[in-house]
Amino acid sequence: MSDTRADGARRLPATGTPIALTDRHQRPLRDLRISVTDRCNFRCVYCMPKEVFGRDYAFLDRDELLSFEEITRIAAVAAAHGVHKIRLTGGEPLLRRGIEQLIAQLAALRTPEGEALDIALTTNGSALAVKAAALKAAGLRRVTVSVDSLDDELFQRMNDVRFPVSRVLDGIDAAHEAGLGPIRLNMVVKRGVNDGEVLDMARRFKGTPYTLRFIEYMDVGTTNGWSLDEVVPSAEIIRRIHDVFPLEPADAVVPGETAKRWRYVDGGGEIGVISSVTNAFCGTCTRARISTEGRLFTCLFASSGHDLRALLRGGAGDDELAAAMASIWGARDDRYSEVRASLTPELRAQRKRIEMSYIGG
């Protein structure tokens, strides 16, 4: 058993390390998103536009990346202090060589209650057809696959590397057959680009084992030239689908879910909407992010991260690592999506923001 101190921190007998249970808004640390590479084989227009991420772009060198052992150590310390869920992301996580080995290492970790962690991965699906079975065998539980359009011409234009949508759809089916479900499909909706695809996507995945989720286009980073006019509010998406396939709201399954669930009235399954812009959910945000080279970010919109790699490579023990993470989380005050609307475009532009491909979605 642990004893709770007056300052809200807890002393765990296993390590003797004081940890903050919650941040400054009483949000616990529950989920860790780990970016395993800053590279990607796609150049999605809203994430890694070619003009910025071209041939001359300086990606991280191999020795700058956290090793699998370093990632596992961070995950183990996090798991000992409240994290239940780990999502691997990137860049494109399936480009990291030997990712199955990392998954196997993470799958061996246990919470203090003796439970295995919920290990998931977000991917563009391009390598899933080849890798799905090995990922499952290594201990991956679920995948989320990004699909922005079913129209091949538009899909290829959006990924900007001429990658055909049929190969991603094959990858999704392979993941399903391998047992990597329930599978979620993420569609980022950008007005004037793929918002005309919303109904086709809903129609295609209604009544399948896949749950489609519509994501509002966000102002992550500074390279995608975001403008509020390009955001399609979730309410509009629901209205458009509801007009053709009636929907009703469904209860959250887990408290603090990012997606709001909607159910087809005719029993054709569910969809989700992630309203990061029009209906922020910072109040229940329990996520920390680890960048590819080991910086801990307490918000997707943070301007800087905390260098855990320096601690690891400087010989810090688990206690020291835990204390650092606890103090960073304890000081967390982030709620960018809630304050976004109050910022003028000039103030927003002045804010330094990290790229989605660097920190992972």
List the beta strands (DSSP E) in 180-223: 184-189, 211-216
Q: Please report whether residue 334 would count as binding ligand SF4 according to CB under 6 A.
A: yes
| φ/ψ (deg, to 5) at 85 | -130, 135
Sole window of 221-229, 259-267, 275-283, 306-314 interacting with ligand SF4 (rule: CB under 6 A): 275-283
Choose from ligand SAM, ligand SF4, none: what does 198 bind? Cβ within 5-8 Å by kind. Answer: none
Nearer to ligand SAM, 186 or 292 (CB): 186
Q: Which residue has the tokens 């201990």?
A: 139
Q: Please report whether residue 124 would count as binding ligand SF4 according to CB under 6 A.
A: yes
Count of helix runs (H) and strand runs (E) in the chain? 12, 15
| φ/ψ (deg, to 5) at 205 | -100, 0
Smallest Cα–Cα separation from 89: which of 142, 130, 24?
142
Nearer to ligand SF4, 40 or 106 (CB): 40
Q: Is the peptide bond before 182 cis (omega within 30 degrees of 0)?
A: yes
CA atoms within 13 A on the CB side of 164: 3
Q: b/e for 84-103, b at 16 or more Cβ within 10 A?
A: bbbbbbbbbbbbbeebbebb
Sequence-distant (≥ 6) Cβ neighbours of residue 309 within 8 angstroms? 66, 70, 293, 294, 295
Choose from ligand SAM, ligand SF4, none: what does 337 bind? Cβ within 5-8 Å by kind. Answer: ligand SF4
Q: Which residues within the stretch 140-169 sit at the binding site for ligand SF4 (CB under 6 A)?
A: 146
**Least Cβ distance, residue 182 to ligand SF4 (angstroms):** 21
**Least Cβ distance, residue 265 to ligand SAM (angstroms):** 27
Nearer to ligand SF4, 105 or 126 (CB): 126
Q: Which residues within the stretch 281-340 sit at the binding site for ligand SAM (CB under 6 A)?
A: none
Q: Which residues within the stretch 222-241 sit at the binding site for ligand SAM (CB under 6 A)?
A: 224
Report how many residues bind ligand SAM under the rule CB under 6 A.
21
Name the strand (E) or helix (H) holding 205: helix 198-205
| φ/ψ (deg, to 5) at 322 | -65, -40
DSSP assignment letter at 116:
B
Q: What is the Cα–Cα distance from 196 to 240, expressed in whole angstroms?
A: 10
The mark string for 67-106 relative to ligand SF4 (x by CB under 6 A, - otherwise) is -----------------------xxx--------------
Nearer to ligand SF4, 321 or 359 (CB): 359
Residues in the site for ligand SAM, rule: CB under 6 A?
40, 46-47, 89-90, 92, 122-124, 146, 186, 188, 215, 217-218, 220, 224, 356-357, 360-361
Which parts of this chain interact with ligand SF4 (CB under 6 A)?
40, 42-44, 47-48, 90-92, 124, 146, 280-282, 285, 287, 299-301, 334-337, 357
